[in-house]
């Protein structure tokens, strides 16, 4: 009878079922509300399948998992989206490298080794190649490649920072650059991203620069003097040392003691001697005894390079001492 559809004519009443009250689990006993055991039968005395659980199944249902009490755990909110041009703003990778340039019309060199610095801007994956200026190179130096995204093939793909590494070649518009080293920030950035850089390499020597360095070393066979006459002229201008002296000629006939003033000009190491006249001394009114000039130490042994050799006067020699000049 259970498989028949629920239609008129297919329903039958069981005459043996006489008890149709609802089963319950709460009741009153002596005026108190007390719980009853779980009912085993339902309406009409049919056994209840929902209560056909043993004690082990009932204990399994008594689950105190926090999810049943508080609900499912909420997922953590997603991280705030930061655009790449903001996260990597002002972060630049710097690599050091070189490239060889062929020289075809020179008997002194066949190729040149030109050192460059490769900058990679993380904010937009652009690159810039710069060559440090070299004195007397005669070559256009400075920025060899302006900042731009560099294509790596004919399809249109561009270089990204993961494709750069030490000890690898970088082809840019037909020119091959060799990467030999990087700075500390670039090394730390690759390590933070889980990538390992190769060991640094040494750049080859430029044959022409090596020969030129040898020639320049041979040409500089004398040590240049650290004394700068121009600096002396500018810093010591109008600075004059003044010393008071006497000419004691009393041992000779008609000799006398005459007073003089010695001026020493620091700007060019020149010297002049002036006589200090007194009133009614009977001498000509000309005070200059020796005009301003450089005085040799020994007038009998004046070298051809004079006046490069000049009198060097110190306070110890001028104070309370005699000076022979042009005798």
Same domain, yes or no, for 138 and 63? no
How far apart are alpha carbons 216 and 224 in whole angstroms?
Answer: 14
State how far the Cα of 147 lies from the Cα of 114, in Å rounded to an integer: 19
Q: What is the pLDDT of residues 138-157, one digit of tens each?
A: 788 899 999 999 998 888 89
Instruction: Answer yes or no: is pLDDT of 320 > 70.
Output: no
In the prediction, which pLDDT does 312 show? 54
Residue 102 domain flag? yes
| Residue 75 included in any domain | no
pTM for the model stands at 0.47
Residue 219 maps to a domain: no
Question: Could you read off the pLDDT of 162-204 as tens digits, one per residue?
Answer: 999 999 999 999 999 999 999 999 999 999 999 999 999 999 9
pLDDT above 80 for 326: no
Q: Count how many domains the chain has.
A: 3
Q: Of 152, 174, 209, which residue sits at a domain end?
A: 209
Q: How many CB atoms lie within 10 A of CB 112?
A: 18
Average pLDDT over residues 268-290: 88
Asked if 91 and 175 sit in the same domain, the reply is yes
The predicted structure's pLDDT at residue 163: 92
Based on the fold, state whether residues 39 and 142 are members of the same structural domain: no
Confidence band (pLDDT; 50, 70, 90) for 213?
Answer: confident
Q: Domain of 204?
A: 84-209
- Written as six digits, the tokens of 189 are 């950035």
Residue 79 lies in a domain: no
Q: The domain spanning residue 199 has which CATH number? A: 2.30.29.170
314 Cα distance to chain centroid: 52
Q: How confident is the model at residue 224 (pLDDT cuts 50, 70, 90)?
A: low
Mean of pLDDT values over 221-242: 79
15 is a domain residue: no
Phi, psi of 313 (to 5 degrees): -105, 135
Query: Would you call 250 exposed, middle or buried from its count of C-beta atoms within 10 A (0-12, 13-18, 19+)?
Result: exposed
Q: Are residues 176 and 199 in the same domain?
A: yes
- Give the pLDDT confidence score for residue 99 in this predicted structure: 94
In the chain, how many H helices and how many E strands? Answer: 7, 12
Bridge pairing between strands 175-182 and 240-248: unpaired
Secondary structure letter of residue 132 according to DSSP? -
Kindly state whether residues 112 and 203 are assigned to the same domain.
Answer: yes
Both 89 and 64 in one domain: the answer is no
Nearest partner of 274 among 235, 237, 265, 306, judged by Cα: 265
Domain edge (last residue) among 69, 99, 130:
69
Same domain, 147 and 100: yes
């Amino acid at each position: 009878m259970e498989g028949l559809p629920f239609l008129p004519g297919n329903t039958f009443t069981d005459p043996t079922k006489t008890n149709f009250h609802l089963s319950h689990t709460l009741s009153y006993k002596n005026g108190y509300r007390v719980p009853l055991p779980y009912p085993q039968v339902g309406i009409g005395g049919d056994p209840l399948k929902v209560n056909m659980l043993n004690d082990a199944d009932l204990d399994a249902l008594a689950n105190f998992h926090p999810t049943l009490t508080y609900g499912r755990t909420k997922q953590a909110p997603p991280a705030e989206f930061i655009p790449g041009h903001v996260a990597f703003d002002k972060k630049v990778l710097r690599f050091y490298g070189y490239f060889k340039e062929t020289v075809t019309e020179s008997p002194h060199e066949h190729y040149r080794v030109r050192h460059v610095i490769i900058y990679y801007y993380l904010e937009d994956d652009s690159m810039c190649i710069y060559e440090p200026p070299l004195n007397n190179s005669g070559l256009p130096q400075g920025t060899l490649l302006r900042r731009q995204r560099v294509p790596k093939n004919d399809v249109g793909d561009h270089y990204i920072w993961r494709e750069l590494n030490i000890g690898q070649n970088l082809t840019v518009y037909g020119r091959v650059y060799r990467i030999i080293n990087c700075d500390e920030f670039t090394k730390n950035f690759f390590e933070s991203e889980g990538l390992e850089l190769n060991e640094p390499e040494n750049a080859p020597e430029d044959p022409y620069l090596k020969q030129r360095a040898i020639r320049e070393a041979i040409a500089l066979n004398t040590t240049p003097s650290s004394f700068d006459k121009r600096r002396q002229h500018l810093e010591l201008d109008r600075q004059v040392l003044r010393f008071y002296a006497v000419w004691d000629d009393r041992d000779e006939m008609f000799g006398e003691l005459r007073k003089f003033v010695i001026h020493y000009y620091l700007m060019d190491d020149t010297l002049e001697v002036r006589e200090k006249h007194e009133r009614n001394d009977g001498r000509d009114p000309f005070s200059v005894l020796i005009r301003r000039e450089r005085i040799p130490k020994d007038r009998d042994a004046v070298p051809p390079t004079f006046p490069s050799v000049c009198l060097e006067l110190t306070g110890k020699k001028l104070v309370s001492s005699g000076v022979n000049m042009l005798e």
